[in-house]
Each structure stands twice: as C-alpha cells, then as structure tokens.
Homo-oligomer: A and B are copies of this chain.
C-alpha cells in the first residue's frame, strides 16, 4: 500500500499489456489480464488513482521540464473519447492538452503528415492526449492503397525516428491500441443510432470502415509491429470500465517512474517572508 491507500497491481499494467509479439487475433478484447475483475473494484481504485495522478501532474507542471503524451488509437467506438473524458478528466484541466485528428484538411495535406502533429505536441509540464494520431497516416493509406509499399515503409521509419526525437526532447509517449470486438462495435453503433443525444456521433462512413474490419486489423498489425521502438500497449476495450482503469494505471505507473519534483524556491524564502511580514507595503 502506498500513501494513497489503493491497490498496487502485483504485476505492473505496463508489463502486463505491453505488446511484444503483435498478433491481434490472440488478444481477447474482453480480457482482464491484470487488475480488478469487477466494475465496482475498478471504480473505487479509479478515485484513488485520480487523486495521485492529480498530485503527480501538479508536480510535473511545477517542474516544467518534461511532458507525457497519451496516444489513443482504435477502431470507431473503441473509446478514445471516453478515455479523454474519464481519465484525463481526473486531473487539473490547466495542465492538460487534448488534440484530436480528423481527416486531414486541404491545408494539412499541403504539408508532410507529421506537420499537424508537431504543432500540437504538449508543452513542458503538460499531460497531452491524442485522439487518433500520426498512425492514421499508416492505416488509412494502407487500407485504401493510397501510397505504395515503399512509401509505407518510409513512413514507419519516419515515425520511429519522430518518436525517438520526442523522447529525447523530454516527452514520454504512452501508445495505446484500444482493442474491441466487431460485436461490441455493432452494439455501440446501434446505441448511437438509438439515442438522440448520440446521433451526432454517428457517421454513415463508419459502416464503410467497419466493412473493412480485417483489412484494418492487418494495417494495425503492421503499424504496431513496425513502429515499436517506443512500446505499444494493447488495451482490452470491450469493457469501458476496464479500458479506463488500465489507461489510468499506465499513466500512473509512468508518472511515478518519472517522479516529477516540485522545484525548490529560486528566491530566498526567509527574505521574502520578511518582506511580506515586516515590511508589507500595505501595512
């Protein structure tokens, strides 16, 4: 037990979910390979994790030298937006930077595909989250055959280089593949059609993408295999509560390891107290 009093997973979530062999067909999207087995237990733990995350994030912000970037990838309805709401929502919004990447605009297409990504990297001290990312540029083009195999290989290499560059600049990446089953996607798409408050989230093109499920799984497999100089985590995402719990713990383990420190005062503490107490200009 640490001072927050919540459970410590026997095995770290990072060790349990890090993708070594990339074979999506052997991964159970409804699995719970580590941590709580019930929604109730996960909810309790999330409260304590939130409190600790909030403290660590404040120290990261105060330290002002490093950053964390959560990269969220997954099929439609896999829960990228849900993670932003339920996990990033645990900490002070002042230190959070959310960016989401949709189909590139005409202006974005006039640049290298990493251009729009670099523009919204989290500044020092921030906790960033990408809802989709540069990985879209090795998924859609492969499925839709928009670029050649050689161009695709170039992109994989560029992405590895780019991510090493981020690490060198003090940005720790946490790359999450939100893994869902086609059955759960169907349920969630139907829910978007059935609830008037969710209709706006549905796009008829979602079914066109769904029809290419196995091609996308193949494109993910290639991307995850070829771009893992920085590790990927496979998040079983058929259960929303398990998905949120695992990602909150990945963030927590990462921030604990980074161990950000509140900086010591860059001024003379006693002299400043004296100025305020003995020489208060407004006495």
| Residues in A lying within 8 Å of B, measured CB to CB | 58-59, 62, 81, 84-85, 88-89, 92-94, 96, 98, 100, 131, 182, 186, 189-190, 193, 196-197, 199-204, 207, 210-211, 213, 262-265, 267, 269, 272-273, 275-277, 280-282
Add 8 more A-B contacts to A89-B89, A89-B92, A199-B264 (CB < 8 A).
A62-B197, A62-B200, A88-B94, A93-B98, A94-B131, A193-B272, A202-B265, A202-B267
A269 with B182: CB separation less than 8 A:
no
Partner of A282, one of B59, B182, B267: B182
Distance in angstroms between the alpha carbons of A267 and B202 in the assembled complex: 9
B263 with A200: CB separation less than 8 A:
yes
Distance in angstroms between the alpha carbons of A85 and B90 in the assembled complex: 11
B93 with A89: CB separation less than 8 A:
yes
B264 with A207: CB separation less than 8 A:
no
List, in ascending order, chain B residues with CB within 8 A of A186's CB.
276, 280, 282
**Are A190 and B262 CB-contacts (below 8 A) given A96-B93, A98-B94, A272-B207?**
no
List, in ascending order, chain B residues with CB within 8 A of A88's CB.
93-94
Residue of B nearest to A207 (CB): B275
List, in ascending order, chain B residues with CB within 8 A of A81's CB.
94
Distance in angstroms between the alpha carbons of A162 and B212 in the assembled complex: 48
A189 with B94: CB separation less than 8 A:
no
**Are A276 and B207 CB-contacts (below 8 A) given A262-B199, A282-B213?**
yes
A282 with B92: CB separation less than 8 A:
no
Distance in angstroms between the alpha carbons of A85 and B92 in the assembled complex: 5
B211 with A276: CB separation less than 8 A:
no
B199 with A265: CB separation less than 8 A:
yes
List, in ascending order, chain B residues with CB within 8 A of A280's CB.
186
Distance in angstroms between the alpha carbons of A201 and B92 in the assembled complex: 15
Distance in angstroms between the alpha carbons of A93 and B57 in the assembled complex: 15
Give 10 closest A-B pairs by Cβ, nearest first. A211-B281, A199-B265, A62-B200, A85-B92, A182-B282, A84-B94, A88-B93, A204-B267, A200-B263, A197-B262
B92 with A84: CB separation less than 8 A:
yes
A196 with B94: CB separation less than 8 A:
no
Distance in angstroms between the alpha carbons of A168 and B193 in the assembled complex: 34
List, in ascending order, chain B residues with CB within 8 A of A131's CB.
94
User: Smallest CB–CB gap between A122 and chain B, Å?
Assistant: 13
A190 with B93: CB separation less than 8 A:
no
